[in-house]
Amino acid sequence: MSETTIDTNALGEKIVAVLKTIYDPEIPVDIYELGLIYDVFVNEDYDVKILMTLTTPNCPVAETLPLEVEEKVKSLNDVKSAEVEITFDPPWTQELMSEEAKLELGML
């Protein structure tokens, strides 16, 4: 263990805060609350990998949304690199949305 311990939890929280500023263009809820973010990995070198999905495979922002996520996460001072991987396994469903998102969309 090196003398400088990296607080990946704190960095993870910063990443989540950034993800909450990115919105799906068709639904007025951020991508984190929508449940589009499946996982966020941070290693000791401050390399970040985000596993996410889209609401549908032919989502109109399929090209731009992952780039926006990458760019915004890379803009954090502590992040050395960011990579977004898109997966449709498991496919996104409304059950993945947070209570907050469901409330926002009048589903509760």
Mean pLDDT score across all residues of the chain: 90
Topology of the domain comprising 8-92: GMP Synthetase; Chain A, domain 3 (3.30.300)
Q: Is the pLDDT at 5 greater than 60, yes or no?
A: no
Domain chopping of the chain, boundaries: 8-92
SS3 11: helix
| Dihedral, 28, 32, 33, 39 alpha carbons, nearest 10 | 150
Global pTM reads 0.88
Model confidence pLDDT, tens digit, residues 35-79: 999 999 999 899 999 999 999 888 888 889 999 999 999 999 999
Q: Which residue has the tokens 């690199």?
A: 81
**What share of the chain has pLDDT > 70, as a percent?**
94
